Chains A and B, each alone.
Chain A
Amino acid sequence: MSVATAHDDHHDSHDHGPPKGWQRWVYSTNHKDIGTMYLFFALFMLFFGGAMAMYIRAELFMPGVQLANPDFYNNMVTDHALVMVFGMVMPAAAGMANWMIPLMIGAPDMALPRLNNLSFWLLPAAALMLILSILAPYLFPGSGGPVNTGWTLLPPLSIQNGIGMDFTIFAIHMLGISSILASINIVTTILNMRAPGMTMMKMPLFVWAWFFTALLLIAVMPVLAGAVTMLLFDRHFGTSFFDAAGGGDPILFQHLFWFFGHPEVYVLLLPSIGVLGLVIPTFARKPLFGYKALVYGMGVLAVLGMVVWAHHQYTIGMSLFATNYFMIGTILISIPVGLMLMNFIFTMWRGSMTFETPMLFGIAIILMFSFAGVTGVMLAVVPADMQYHDTMFVVAHFHYALIPGAVFGLYAGVFYWLPKWTGHMYDERLGKIFFWWTTISFNITFFPQHFSGLAGMPRRIVDYSIQYTEFNMISSIGGFLFGLSHLLFLYIIIQTIRGGKKAPDKPWEGSQIGTPGLEWTLPSPPPFHSFTQAPVVK
């Protein structure tokens, strides 16, 4: 992109600085403050959902029921997924979008700042509902057992669940409204608020990634909201959408859920692909290879992702035509994904590479996400999937997709932008220790699950046959190490916020290479009000 000249008026007389005290946060309409709140919320939920994962791995350390009853185990499996997907990855990506999109495109704020405030503040209320869904069986004895359906909330079990399911449904409603409002805001900002000269094809890849993510969310999140509303009606108002006894069809819920659930995978992945599109050119010191192909590839990925949902349900007994369609469609997804990964590799090819923490995460993503792609193609093939369905192989596959694909992308983003956000450089040595610690322990945790799955160990079961003991022990040890590594992550973040080496405006040597946005024209940290006069991009 050509050099941007900005009227850097961030020290002008209108810059009155942030309000003081709690009002700054509760009433905030500032995109940076709201972004910060999103990121801290996600960090809290990372530890909340992570604690559930630690319980799951402790329970599976040995065969037999160790720590709590099977219903509680299934509740933890359910809420671990809901918390990590809706409470951690999505808010963290939304926090980065809030912080960076206006800075990248030269906008003074998000297009709809008050809506932005509402989008964030719905999240803590939803989190409270989720916590209540866990506590409901204990707070209201006799109101039914815990939510034990898994995150898919499949009927008829979800119709029979206790009051905790109602709290879960309301939590999903609020999380859904929050996501839809945030997405509307992001699309509007990208379409209307770009600085003069910042054409769509000059936007950084992260902005494009969020553009497609937000469109996907607007299209599919309401479908989930509709489905859980029907579930609520079946539970309390005598309808039979999903109740076979009343002429309904539980399979219908599966279709509705996965019509949302599969695109949701791309909602989680795309922002991280956007981060990769910035990190790799920066540390390879080479322009992004095939920028336009990457943009179109993300568009194709978003469209294909919306029409292949039933590959999660091969075992329900669909027609041969439908099965073939979903199988071929799913395998086709490997084309845009492969294209993106190859573009990133070609960007690195003959580059002057250095291996700072964000770049290390970037390379790990390419390697480990490709591995998830391979097991994904295995799962897309119908006869093979009949064997793998509902085994630990699936758990291994989607954790390889979502932890490197989504979570490591977020870590790369955190380390890449921490200097810009805080004005301080993080401790590079600790960052590298964190990278190796998480990457190695992640593989110790999830690699053995491919084997236990292929050997037939079912997922979502509190107990298992003694033949799977060694695989599970290794997995649990890896899991504890993986969990522990995040204390270091927390320490690095706190340490960087509190002080450290002063970060320059462009903390990375290669940050102006490729298709950077206007964020590097601002100081680190940027002023409370930035781009109050539109910069001009030449």
Chain B
Amino acid sequence: MMKQPDDDKLRKANLRVAIILGAIALLAMAYSFVFLPKVLSGGLVP
């Protein structure tokens, strides 16, 4: 929750959350290249 709108701490906290979410998005992209083809070639597609 917000305490002071211009708080430097808040800015850093925002950046931290954004970086974590960005990393999740990059992992999701890697998933399409690496993980899903592997699963599908071994399992779901006969």
A483 CB to closest chain B CB, in angstroms? Answer: 37
Question: Which bucket holds chain A's interface residue count?
Answer: 35 or more
A88 within 8 A of B: no
B18 adjacent to A220 (CB under 8 Å): no
Whether the pair B46, A319 counts as a contact (CB closer than 8 A) is yes
Check B24–A218 contact: CB distance below 8 A.
yes
How far does the alpha carbon of A223 sit from the alpha carbon of B4 in the complex, in Å? Answer: 37
CA distance A252 to B42 in the complex (A): 12
Say yes or no: B32 contacts A188, CB within 8 Å.
Answer: no
Q: How many A-B residue pairs have CB under 8 A?
A: 113
Query: How many angstroms between the C-alpha atoms of A220 and B29 in the bound complex?
Result: 8
* B18/A107 in contact, CB under 8 A: no
* 9-residue interface stretch from A34-42, A189-197, A446-454: A189-197
Stretch at the interface among A179-187, A421-429, A504-512: A179-187
Q: With a CB–CB cut-off of 8 A, which chain B residues contact A126? A: none
Q: Is the CB of A196 within 8 A of B3?
A: yes
> Which single residue of chain B is at the shortest CB-CB distance from A105?
B2
Number of B residues contacting the other chain (C-beta, 8 Å)? 29
B29 contacts A225, C-beta separation under 8 Å: yes
**A194 contact from B2, B14, B37, B43, Cβ within 8 A:** B2
B18 touches A184 (CB 8 A): yes
Residue of B nearest to A249 (CB): B45
The docked-state distance in angstroms from the alpha carbon of A330 to that of B40 is 19
User: Is B32's CB under 8 angstroms from A319's CB?
Assistant: no
| Closest Cβ neighbor of A108 among chain B residues | B5
Taken together as a complex, chains A and B put the C-alpha atoms of A193 and B22 apart, in Å, by: 18
- What is the CA–CA distance of A195 and B1 in the complex, to the nearest angstrom? 6
Contact, CB under 8 Å: A192 / B17? yes
A251 → B minimal CB distance (Å) = 6
Chain A residue, CB-CB nearest to B15: A112
Report yes or no: A310 in contact with B44, Cβ–Cβ below 8 A: yes
Which of A111, A191, A222 contacts B28 (CB under 8 A)? A222
Q: Would you give the shortest CB distance from A487 to chain B, in whole angstroms?
A: 39
Q: Which of A306-354 contact B (CB under 8 A)?
A: 310, 316-319, 322
A392 within 8 A of B: no
Q: Which of B4, B24, B29, B36 has the most CB of A within 10 A?
A: B29
Asked whether, in the complex, the Cβ of A188 is within 8 Å of the Cβ of B45, the reply is no
Contact B2 A218 (CB under 8 A): no
Q: B residues engaging A (CB < 8 A)?
A: 1-5, 10, 13-14, 17-18, 21-22, 24-26, 28-33, 36-37, 40-41, 43-46
> 7 other contacts beyond A218-B25, A222-B32, A310-B44, with CB at 8 A cut-off?
A180-B22, A187-B21, A195-B2, A249-B45, A318-B46, A322-B44, A531-B5
Residues of A within 8 A of B (CB): 106-108, 111-112, 115, 180, 183-185, 187-188, 191-199, 218-223, 225-227, 230, 241, 249, 251-252, 255-256, 259, 310, 316-319, 322, 531-534
Instruction: Please name the 9 residue pairs, one residue from A and one from B, whose CB atoms are nearest each other, closest first.
Output: A226-B32, A222-B29, A222-B28, A111-B14, A223-B32, A184-B21, A188-B17, A226-B29, A322-B44
Could you list some 13 contacts between A and B, CB below 8 A?
A184-B21, A192-B17, A195-B1, A218-B25, A221-B28, A222-B25, A225-B32, A241-B37, A249-B45, A252-B40, A252-B45, A255-B44, A256-B36
